[in-house]
A and B are shown apart, each in its own frame.
Chain A
Amino acid sequence: MRPAESQAIVVMATPTLEERDRDLLTLFTRLGPDRLDALDGVWDLCAADLYGLALWRTGSTQDAEDALQEVFTRLAKAAQRGRLGKVRKPFAYLLRMAHSTAIDVLRQRKRHHSQDLEEAAELVEPKCLERTAEAAQLSRHLTQLAESQRAVVYLRHFVGLSFREIGGVMGIPTFTAASRDRLALRRLRQIMGVTS
C-alpha cells in the first residue's frame, strides 16, 4: 500500500469515538507483516490523544515522547506478527497501551531519581494568545494533582470518554474514575481559589 492510501482516511474535523474506532479498525486491517504504511493513518487519528494522556500521566515532555515511541513500536511489532486482527476497540486498545507505557516510564524515571532534572511540562496550551498566562498558571496548578487524577481528567475532558470507558482504559472501576475526576476538579478549584 502506498503512503497516500494510508493517509486517505485522515479526518480533518475532530471525529467522534465511534468514527475513530471505525477508521482505526480499517487501518488495523491494513496493517500486517511488511505492511506498516498504515501507521501514518493511526498517527493522524490518535497520536495527539496518546501523547496528551502520556504527558498528563508523567508530567514530562520527554517521558511522554518516550511513551509514545514505545506505543508505536509495540503497535508495529504486533502488526508485523499479525496480531491486530483480534482487536475490537482499537482506540481504547491504544489508550490502554499508552497509559500502561506511561506508568512504566514514570516508574523507570523514579527508580533512577531523575524526576527533578526537567522543569514541569506545559500540560495545556491556550486557545488564543491572550490566554497564555492563564494557561501557564493552569498548567502549574495541574502539576499539583495526583498523576492518576490527572489522567482521568484528561480522558474525560479532552478525549471525551465516559467514566466507564476511562475505567476500561485505566483498569479501575467506573465509580473510581468518576470519584477521581470529581476530587481532582474540587482540588483544582481549591488551588485556583475558585469558590462555588
Chain B
Amino acid sequence: MTQPTSSREPDPFAQVQPPTLRDGLRQQILARARVAARDQPTIVDRLWESSVLRLAWAATVVLLLGVQVYLAPTPAETTQRMAQSTPAMSKPAEAEFQPFLARHSVVEAPTAMRLGGTSLFGSITIDPFS
C-alpha cells in the first residue's frame, strides 16, 4: 500500500515494500505476552473500576456531609452558646484595672517643654517644675 508521493515525480517507494517479520517471532512474542499478562500482580484495590463501589463511595460522602450539616450548629447558635457559657469576667476585671491605670498613667503637664521627637517614637517632654 504505497501512496504516490507526487503526480509529477517518480515514487521512490514504488518498487519496495516494508520488511517482513522473521520466522518464529510471532510465537515468541505472543507467548511472552500471555505469560506476562497472566503473571501480573492482582489488583487488590478495585474501587475505581466498579460502578457499584464508586456509587457507594459517593453516597457515603454525601451522607457524611448531610450529617455534618444537620448536627453542626449555626453561627447564631454558636454566638448564643458562647455568650451563655462565658463567665462575666470582663466588666469586673476592667473595674479592677481602673485604679491601676489612674496611678500609673503618664499625663503631660501643662508646663512641659516639648523637646522634639518623631511621631514614630513619640515626643519627649520634660517638666522643669515637677
Q: Do A and B bind each other?
A: yes
Nearest CB of B to A40, in Å: 7
| Interface pair A73/B13, CB less than 8 Å apart | no
| Interface pair B25/A196, CB less than 8 Å apart | no
The chain A residue sitting closest to B40, CB to CB, is A77
List residues 23-69 of chain B with CB under 8 A from any CB of chain A.
25-26, 28-30, 32-34, 36-38, 40, 43
Q: Could you say which residues of chain B place their CB within 8 Å of the CB of A73?
A: 32-33, 36-37
A192 vs B40: C-alpha distance when bound (angstroms)? 49
| Interface pair B5/A185, CB less than 8 Å apart | yes
A95 vs B30: C-alpha distance when bound (angstroms)? 17
| Interface pair A75/B33, CB less than 8 Å apart | yes
A65 vs B25: C-alpha distance when bound (angstroms)? 8
**A92: interface (CB < 8 Å):** no
| Interface pair B38/A126, CB less than 8 Å apart | no
Q: Could you say which residues of chain A place their CB within 8 Å of the CB of B6?
A: 185
| Interface pair A125/B18, CB less than 8 Å apart | yes
Assuming the contacts A124-B17, A126-B15, A196-B8, asked whether A69 and B29 have C-beta atoms less than 8 A apart, the reply is: yes
Nearest CB of A to B24, in Å: 11
Assuming the contacts A14-B1, A185-B5, asked whether A126 and B16 have C-beta atoms less than 8 A apart, the reply is: yes
| Interface pair B30/A39, CB less than 8 Å apart | yes
Q: Could you say which residues of chain B place their CB within 8 Å of the CB of A192?
A: 12
Q: Could you say which residues of chain B place their CB within 8 Å of the CB of A48?
A: 18, 20-21
A121 vs B21: C-alpha distance when bound (angstroms)? 13
**B2: interface (CB < 8 Å):** yes
| Range of interface residues on A (Cβ < 8 Å) | 35 or more
**A158: interface (CB < 8 Å):** yes
**A147: interface (CB < 8 Å):** no
Q: Could you say which residues of chain A place their CB within 8 Å of the CB of B26?
A: 43, 47
A27 vs B130: C-alpha distance when bound (angstroms)? 107
A138 vs B18: C-alpha distance when bound (angstroms)? 12
**A80: interface (CB < 8 Å):** yes
**A113: interface (CB < 8 Å):** no
Q: Could you say which residues of chain B place their CB within 8 Å of the CB of A22?
A: none
Q: Which 10 A/B pairs are nearest by Cβ-Cβ distance?
A: A76-B37, A124-B16, A52-B18, A72-B33, A76-B33, A80-B37, A160-B1, A73-B33, A131-B15, A73-B36
A-B contact pairs, 30 of them (CB 8 A): A14-B1, A34-B38, A39-B34, A40-B30, A43-B29, A48-B20, A49-B18, A52-B19, A65-B29, A72-B29, A72-B32, A72-B33, A76-B34, A77-B37, A122-B19, A123-B19, A124-B19, A125-B20, A127-B15, A127-B16, A127-B17, A128-B15, A131-B15, A138-B13, A154-B18, A156-B3, A157-B3, A158-B18, A189-B9, A194-B9
